[in-house]
Structure 1
Amino acid sequence: MDSGQLAWYIAATALVLFMTPGVAFFYGGLARSKSIVNMLLLNLGAIGLIGVLWALYGFNMTNVTAGEGNWIPGFVGDPFSDFGLQSLATGEDANTGLAGVAFGATFAIITVALISGAVVDRAKFGSWMIFAAVWATLVYFPVAGWVWGLDDDGPTGWIGALGNNLGFSTTTIDYAGGTAVHINAGAAALALAIVLGKRIGFPNREKLGRPASVPLVVLGASILFFGWFGFNGGAAASTETLDGIGLITINTLIATAGALLGWVFLDKLTKGYVTATGASSGIVAGLVAITPACANLTPLWAIVLGLVTGAVCSVAVNLKYKLGYDDSLDVVGVHLVGGFIGTLWLGFFATDTGLFTGGNFEQLIVQFLAAISVAVYSFVVALIVGLIIEKTIGFRVSEEDELAGIDLRVHGEEGYVLQS
């Protein structure tokens, strides 16, 4: 890796790390004013905890190649094979190797942080930290290896190599995390929403309160849009000539723009007005959908993907009121649904291999199997872990603390203090 590639790798790492505070601002603005500190802390906690665990053993678990230092090839690597990165840090390829570890850490951090939006207003911080550690260990770390495990002969993770193992001419496409990040986090968010139950006042929107800060929502979405060019484009640093980064960049931009338009158009059509929170949510939905597909769509199909995703996710976020699960900040409606749309879209429109661009069903089959497998695994593990925590030390704050305001009662500070 030359100096230019390495510089972009480090820059992309910083961009993706900046996205987690962006999530905190986006979620924090959507939360009630008496819960904004709690929302910020759930995300800051993910940065500290997951960053350390990734360096200690998480990165090792993504090494799913066959051979020494692995537990189950294709599924999970030995977490103790290079505990604390001691060998990597002193090896010949330490410079580029450690840069890759840092880049991967930012993905692990933001995936966990995304889940927090489903439980704001009612989750204990300590219980959240325990859940985050266990879920990352049992789910995100191995799933990252399933999707992105790679050696000189090709994909080594069972999801990445799914097409090869089925004898297909193509295999799973997930360039930057439709399955490993968004479907993964969205499924876990749904499980936690079920475990913690409904907020007091749900489904009455007036009783739940309005978003704390619309400008903070827009700021958070803008930070995410900014950082996502590192999120989608960072992996190109590992190629000799930054292969595909031009396509990745334009697709990230225009799919997101399309989703914004799709969301606000449907809002105008159904509600009669357009909101800044809706436009911001459209941005995030578009970013989610283009994540797996950014390197494998022509720009036209990226625009259509954005338009469809914005409209569908706008509908999906309101389904919680009909279905009866309380996902506080619509992680399911945006990340799980958007992740599924982007992942399956490749089955139809991936360049040269999609059903309508390549003429066979193989791409759609592997995309579907990958999406469903990650969703089911993440949901089941999150549900079990969440229930164990709830039944032992408790996951949800008391009713009194929830009504009085979790920020002041649990954290001892307020997001907004008005002084004369």
Structure 2
Amino acid sequence: MFPEQVSGTSMSIAGFYAICVAAVIIVVAGITLVDVGLVSRKNRLDTAIQKLIGTFIAVAAYAVVGNAIWNWQFNQATGTGSFGDLFTDWSLWGSFSTTPASETDPAVFADADVHQVFLAFNAIFMGAGVAVLHSLGLQRLKAKAYFIIAAVVGGLVGPLNIYLTWGSASPLTARGYHDFLGVAPLYIFAAFFGLILVWRLGPTRKADLDLNALGLSIFGLLMMMFGCAVYALGCGIIIPDVGYLGISYSTSGLGVVSINIMMAFAFGAVGGLIVGYLTRNIIVTALSPLCGFVSCAPGMDILEAWQVAIIAFFAPMLTALALRFVTRIGLDEKKIIGLGIGSGIYGVLATGVFAWGTPTGGVSGVESGTYAFQGAEVNLGWQLLGVVAMAASGAVAALILTTVLERTVGLRVSDEAMDRGLDEYYWGGGDSAGSSPEHQTEDMVVVQPATSSTGHA
């Protein structure tokens, strides 16, 4: 037994991160409600089911493959262990992920509980990113295609993205890039992935929206805001007797981040109010607190409150312009692409301007070289490089995946499925749904409803 591994302090820190894991699940629930409120009534059940299953396919893929990819940055920085060792240590059967902290020698693996919970945190964060990708193809992306995208992005592309940009020893962070909440590998990647995916999918059929259901979307946004306010704190590192540092080992504080979160929501909402009156764009107006949050998320740990207020205020306006651009080039998508381009890119670059020169990056205990503790400085050039890298990753990944999927399982649901509604077509929502063979050939086997002797459910 190693009691120092399960001290009160260690258990409290691990418990804090466990709460943050639950907060990301709340964010996913919020995303689901937003989308359920925006799709046609006949597609609501399938929309929720696809997002739920795809999210946890990504979680599983990250746990099996992706965590080793992300952790490789720290092995590189410290010169300990090979890439293969990471798969052995952090696999589902590996010693680091299966041995209780109380039985783990701290000389071999210190703070085991915290690192194990952080695996879960990263995994569900990857699942949330895949849930965002699903929102790009609502009502027309085939389930099979989405689940394959979830596995590839969750297990390979997404981990490579956060290896490059998120973590104190990531190749870009160690040289001056800063992205506290991973906006670039989440929203900027999704935006450019979406430009290709939505183009290849084509427009959806005219939606018979139920205006009363838009209340679900607003409630979903509130759930997302609640979850974001909690999980954002989990993107930092708590070191007893030292304090709270950002994920890039930038000096920060729980109080500073909490204030900045609220100011981002508040001044984003104020900016959105102006956009709403000028453009009558209900989507941007409703999204405005989230626009503010996304724009400030890259620097939430190192920006001052007044800087957060300025950045957040203009985010809804830039998002509205980005959405207008998306509409003019003929793409049928009204949330994610505009949010990633308008608020995401703007926020990453604004952090480089307002926080220029702030120490960041490196590994605790390393005193010299590329990975020296806080040995890099935030600057606009590296912020721009991070944007370009994630934009290229999203576009290239989408182009490859959509091309392969179109030639194999297919990318877009059939016109018949769209006309009937995905709930009825796949899940037996009507008396005759699922009774003909074609219902069992496109994506999944339909669960037959129980019937009485008259043939009705």
Residue number in structure 2 paired with 1:326: 332
Per the TM alignment, residue 29 of structure 1 is displaced from its structure 2 partner at its CA by 1.2
Trace 1:36-185 onto structure 2 (pairs within 5 A): 36-64=44-72, 65-66=75-76, 67-70=80-83, 79=87, 82-88=90-96, 89-90=98-99, 91-92=104-105, 93-150=111-168, 155=169, 157-161=170-174, 163=175, 171-185=176-190
Q: What is the CA–CA distance in structure 1 between the aligned matches of 2:262 and 2:316, rounded to whole Å?
A: 14
Q: What is the CA–CA distance in structure 2 between the aligned matches of 1:281 and 1:413, rounded to whole Å?
A: 32
Q: Determine if contact 2:88/2:94 at 8 Å carries over to the other structure.
A: no
Q: Determine if contact 2:58/2:126 at 8 Å carries over to the other structure.
A: yes
Residue number in structure 1 paired with 2:427: 411
Q: What is the CA–CA distance in structure 2 between the aligned matches of 1:246 and 1:395, rounded to whole Å?
A: 46
Trace 1:15-30 onto structure 2 (pairs within 5 A): 15-30=23-38
Whichever residue aligns with residue 305 of structure 1, its letter is I
Change beyond 3 A, Cα 1:146–1:413? farther
Instruction: Please list the CA deviations of residues 97-137 of structure 1 after superposition, one character each: whole Å capped at 9, or x if unmatched.
Output: 21111111121110111011110110111221011111223
Q: What is the CA–CA distance in structure 1 between the aligned matches of 2:163 and 2:204, rounded to whole Å?
A: 36
Q: Determine if contact 1:121/1:402 at 8 Å carries over to the other structure.
A: yes
Residue number in structure 2 paired with 1:418: none
Q: What is the CA–CA distance in structure 1 between the aligned matches of 2:34 and 2:204, rounded to whole Å?
A: 20
Q: Which has the higher contact order (CA 8 A, sep 6+)?
A: 1
Q: Determine if contact 1:36/1:407 at 8 Å carries over to the other structure.
A: yes
Per the TM alignment, residue 187 of structure 1 is displaced from its structure 2 partner at its CA by 1.9
Per the TM alignment, residue 412 of structure 1 is displaced from its structure 2 partner at its CA by 3.0
Residue number in structure 1 paired with 2:365: none
Contiguous gaps of at least 5 residues in structure 2: 1-8, 106-110, 245-251, 360-376, 431-457
Whichever residue aligns with residue 423 of structure 2, its letter is D
TM-score normalised by structure 1 residue count: 0.84
Per the TM alignment, residue 352 of structure 1 is displaced from its structure 2 partner at its CA by 4.9
Q: Determine if contact 2:276/2:285 at 8 Å carries over to the other structure.
A: no
Q: What is the CA–CA distance in structure 2 between the aligned matches of 1:340 and 1:117, rounded to whole Å?
A: 19
Change beyond 3 A, Cα 1:55–1:113? same
TM-score normalised by structure 2 residue count: 0.78
Q: What is the CA–CA distance in structure 1 between the aligned matches of 2:31 and 2:121, rounded to whole Å?
A: 18
Residue number in structure 2 paired with 1:167: none
Whichever residue aligns with residue 41 of structure 1, its letter is I
Per the TM alignment, residue 185 of structure 1 is displaced from its structure 2 partner at its CA by 2.0
Aligned CA-pair RMSD: 2.4
Q: What is the CA–CA distance in structure 2 between the aligned matches of 1:323 and 1:85, rounded to whole Å?
A: 48
Q: Determine if contact 1:184/1:336 at 8 Å carries over to the other structure.
A: no
Indicate yes or no: 2:410 matched with 1:394: yes
Per the TM alignment, residue 80 of structure 1 is displaced from its structure 2 partner at its CA by 5.6
Per the TM alignment, residue 96 of structure 1 is displaced from its structure 2 partner at its CA by 1.7
Report percent identity of matched pairs: 23
Greater mean alpha carbon deviation, residues 111-120 or residues 259-268: 259-268
Aligned with residue 350 of structure 1, among 344, 348, 355:
355
Per the TM alignment, residue 239 of structure 1 is displaced from its structure 2 partner at its CA by 3.1
Instruction: Please list the CA deviations of residues 137-160 of structure 1 after superposition, one character each: whole Å capped at 9, or x if unmatched.
Output: 33101111112344xxxx2x2222
Contiguous gaps of at least 5 residues in structure 1: 72-76, 164-170, 202-206, 355-360, 415-420
Per the TM alignment, residue 213 of structure 1 is displaced from its structure 2 partner at its CA by 1.4
Trace 1:117-266 onto structure 2 (pairs within 5 A): 117-150=135-168, 155=169, 157-161=170-174, 163=175, 171-201=176-206, 209=209, 213-240=213-240, 241-242=243-244, 243-266=252-275
Q: What is the CA–CA distance in structure 2 between the aligned matches of 1:336 and 1:320, rounded to whole Å?
A: 10
Whichever residue aligns with residue 317 of structure 1, its letter is L
* Larger Rg, first or second structure (1 or 2): 2
Q: Determine if contact 1:217/1:280 at 8 Å carries over to the other structure.
A: no
Per the TM alignment, residue 84 of structure 1 is displaced from its structure 2 partner at its CA by 1.2
Q: Determine if contact 1:9/1:237 at 8 Å carries over to the other structure.
A: no
Q: Determine if contact 1:58/1:79 at 8 Å carries over to the other structure.
A: no
Q: Determine if contact 2:58/2:153 at 8 Å carries over to the other structure.
A: no
Residue number in structure 2 paired with 1:341: 346
Change beyond 3 A, Cα 1:245–1:320? same
Q: What is the CA–CA distance in structure 2 between the aligned matches of 1:261 and 1:337, rounded to whole Å?
A: 17
Whichever residue aligns with residue 401 of structure 2, its letter is V
Q: Determine if contact 1:258/1:310 at 8 Å carries over to the other structure.
A: no
Q: Determine if contact 1:254/1:303 at 8 Å carries over to the other structure.
A: yes
Residue number in structure 1 paired with 2:277: 268
Q: Determine if contact 2:284/2:319 at 8 Å carries over to the other structure.
A: no
Q: What is the CA–CA distance in structure 1 between the aligned matches of 2:391 and 2:266, rounded to whole Å?
A: 27
Instruction: Please list the CA deviations of residues 200-225 of structure 1 after superposition, one character each: whole Å capped at 9, or x if unmatched.
Output: 35xxxxx6746671211111110111
Residue number in structure 2 paired with 1:357: none
SS of equivalent to 2:94:
helix
Per the TM alignment, residue 268 of structure 1 is displaced from its structure 2 partner at its CA by 0.5
Whichever residue aligns with residue 252 of structure 1, its letter is I
